[in-house]
Amino acid sequence: MAASIALTQGVLAAGVLERDTELMLRVRAGDDSSFGILLERHRTSVIHFLYRMVQNQGVAEELAQEVFFRVYRSRESYEPTAKFTTWLFRIATHLAINWLRDHKSQKMHESIDEAVEGAARQVTDRLPNVEQRLLSEARLAEVRQAVDELPAKQRAAVLMHKYEELEYTQIAQILECSDSAVKSLLFRAYESLRVKLAHMNVPAVRERRKADEMPCAG
């Protein structure tokens, strides 16, 4: 506890407090309006992440509500020992994995997440015709299906790495494992996607595989 207080004071003294952490410290001090700002800043990205995990919009919104409820409930004990987003996504990831574990036998509705970045890579400078649009949507749906079939932790790692663009260290803190374990998770996930999507020649999968293809303990 003393170490956390010292860290907080040190960060404040250094003047390098990130905006989210500053807001959360204000929430801890009783400023509820700062919590509203945090909610506005991160609600959409948390819902998108949860939707990609559970593939159910209603459930994603309910889980997101629980995420921010837990953040608010923990306000008095909050200490900036890690980036706010690391803490936030750790809560979201745990809730999503627990939900998936508890609903293994439940069939989920398939849908295309319109927020997935990268779909536009397949579109030419001119407006696509109907065939091009249908092909792009079919490719996107197939990629999403392949990601959805990954084990929960691999899926979470891929979503945080590719879509949220979090660093290895952040993902490791969220999943509560080592950096090398994260690299191992990502290597296995991208290798699985490469095999499943080989017929599509998906550039994103090839690029990520090359970036993460390295010996690692897991």
Sequence spans of domains, the chain: 1-103, 126-218
**How far is 157 from 166, CA to CA, in rounded Å?**
9
More confident residue, 136 or 188: 188
Give the pLDDT band of residue 129 (cuts 50, 70, 90): low
For domain 126-218, give its CATH number from 3.10.20.600, 1.10.40.30, 1.10.10.10, 3.40.30.10.
1.10.10.10
**How far is 65 from 57, CA to CA, in rounded Å?**
12
Which residue's entry shows tokens 């459930």?
59
For domain 1-103, give its CATH number from 1.10.1740.10, 1.25.40.10, 2.140.10.10, 2.40.50.140.
1.10.1740.10
**How far is 76 from 26, CA to CA, in rounded Å?**
10
More confident residue, 114 or 30: 30
Angle (CA) 206-212-213 rounded to 5° is 85
Give the pLDDT band of residue 202 (cuts 50, 70, 90): low
pLDDT confidence of residue 142: 83
With a cut of 70, say whether residue 5 has pLDDT above it: no
Give the pLDDT band of residue 205 (cuts 50, 70, 90): low
8 and 29 Cβ atoms separated by less than 8 Å: no
Mean pLDDT, all residues of the chain: 78
> Cα dihedral sign for 62, 185, 82, 74?
positive
pTM, two decimals, is 0.68
Percent pLDDT > 90 in the chain is 52
Max CA separation in the chain (angstroms): 63
pLDDT confidence of residue 162: 87
